[in-house]
Amino acid sequence: MWLAYSKTGEEVLTEGQQWAWIIFYIGLAECACILIFRLAFEIASENMVFKIQVDCFRQLLRMPCAFFDDPKHSSERLSTRLAADSANARWGMDYPLGYFFSTGTGFVIAVVVASIYGWRMAILTASSFPFILYLDHRLGVYLERVYNKDSKVLEAASRVAMESIDNIKTVRSLTMEKVVMKRFTDLISVSHNEYKRRAKIQAFVIAFTGSFFYFVYCLNYAYGAYLVVNGTMWPIHVYIVLFCIAEVMHASDYAIGYFPDYIKARYAIGLIFKLLNDKPPFNNLSQTGAKPRETTEVSLKEVEFRYPQRQNQTVLRDFSLLFPSGKTTALVGASGCGKSSTISLIERFYDPNSGLVLLGNTPVPNIQPKYLRSKLSLVSQEPVLFDRTIRENIIYGLENDNISHERIQQVLEQANIKNFIDTLPEGIETNIGERGTQLSGGQKQRIAISRALIRNPDILLLDEATSAMDSQNEAVINIL
């Protein structure tokens, strides 16, 4: 192309026009290629993030309750896996990766061409690569360490914020606003100061490595002139090599700029795969297992149980008990003696360390988890309600949610809360807020009892389910 302008007369105009059209068509081709390239990588990265989020959430649902008791698996940390880490992982597959490969291809071609036309200048350029690679490696090690520390600090700050907001009435009643604000600020300050330090180091390394190639380019200009004077290389060959070195510089600049995002993506993907590769002792979503017909009697035989996070404390030792069919059985004992733990074993939230928990004559671990829990209904001392309507909370968990209005009214009456709901402007379609914050403690417990009754369970488990009710409502519930 540059030879066209070395000619004279009409030849310059003719060849110049030819090259103009060639460049025009190259521009059109590049437009089409970039369009396809961006769409392909953007869609692929979005599909990857979608699959990661779905797989991570499915993996969490598979996990036993003991998994969530571990402080390393706090809700803040797990929600980070689903949201922030999956978003960071996108950079490992998004269009910058495509640019990295395309510039990498250009880099290889440029090095090969430079080696053909001027291997001496190519060696001079290549001699700088080990130093640049070493700097990038050290930067990567540092960034990975910083991201690990930053992740833990931000999770702790998020935990303080969520606890304070969720329990704002307690915080306010104890005038702890300044205390929680200081805790939150101290944690965020650690991340803030580390970020500024990281920015300085990252800026210095990227600036130095980016400008370093210009020093190499400068040396090649001088060295090329020396080789031309000595007759070792033709001027046109020097020009070709310098053009190739410029392409190498462009590719290297982009790779260096992409490197921090790559490190962040690699760190996030590592955390995600650590979660996905964690094999649960049993799968809560398993479709295999027995479906015994006799499901109205529960027994525990010589059970020993310790919580996985408190292996040095035995909750139940050589414990045997029969819950006969068709009868009401009460567990009475001091706080912490294992009443709630017994219910957790029946629901198979945990497995005993030794002994058997039987539904009928079938060991609970041998029963399909979904089938087991379809035969049980549990109402806890602190019932969990969702940010939905009263009706949606009552039918929550039913496979067939096409429940008649009459059936819902029946269970509300059994739980002695129908009269209260009838006074609400929207009745059972009233939204009760996050965790049922629009209801009193006793009202939440009665909604939870309605949810348990509508399932027609073979076994109803009540764990201090009337503790927040007044004596009148408690008496009605006890008749059930």
Pairing of strands 459-462, 376-379: parallel
Is pTM beyond 0.75? Reply is: no
Angstrom CA distances, 41 to 147, 254, 445, stand at 25, 17, 50
Residues 327 and 458 in one domain: no
Contact (CB, 8 A) for 144 and 198: no
**Does a structural domain hold residue 428?**
yes
Tokens of 43: 């869609």
Q: State which of 248, 276, 304 marks the end of a domain.
A: 276
* CB contact at 8 A, 171 and 164: yes
In this prediction, residue 237 carries a pLDDT of 82
Q: Give the CATH number, domain containing residue 429.
A: 3.40.50.300
Segment 76-89, tens digit of pLDDT: 778 877 777 877 78
Interval 266-281: pLDDT, tens? 888 888 888 888 888 8
Chain position carrying tokens 């629901």: 347
Give the per-residue SS3 of 81-111.
HHHHHHHHHHHHCCHHHHHHHHHHHHHHHHH
Q: Are residues 269 and 346 in the same domain?
A: no
Residues 92 and 213 in one domain: yes
**Domain termination residue (choose one: 367, 392, 419):** 367
Give yes or no for a contact between 113 and 240, defined as CB atoms under 8 angstroms apart: yes
Same domain as 410, residue 331: no
pLDDT at 445: 86
Domains contained in the chain, number: 3
Query: Rounded to whole angstroms, how far apart are CA atoms 132 and 209?
Result: 6
What per-residue confidence (pLDDT) applies to 8? 60
Note the pLDDT of residue 112.
81
Task: Tell me if 27 is assigned to some domain.
Answer: yes
What per-residue confidence (pLDDT) applies to 468? 65
Whole-angstrom Cα distance, residue 284 to residue 180?
Answer: 37
Tokens of 326: 């068709």
Q: Tell me which residues of the chain have a pLDDT lower than 70.
A: 1-13, 15-16, 95-96, 98-100, 103-104, 247-257, 467-480
> Do residue 353 and residue 447 come from a single domain?
no
Residues 349 and 266 in one domain: no
Of 221, 220, 207, nearest in space to 132 by CA? 207
Domain with 262, as residue range(s), is 2-276
Residues 363, 360: Cα–Cα separation, whole Å: 8
Q: Are strands 316-323 and 298-305 parallel, antiparallel or unpaired?
A: antiparallel
- Does residue 281 lie in a domain region? no
151 with 65, same domain?
yes
Q: What's the CATH code of the domain at 76?
A: 1.20.1560.10
Residue at token pair 């993030």: 49
Among 276, 306, 333, give the residue marking a domain's end: 276
Check residue 253 and give its pLDDT: 66
Q: How far apart are the first and last CA of the chain?
A: 93
Domain shared by 67 and 117, yes or no: yes
Q: Are residues 292 and 321 in the same domain?
A: yes
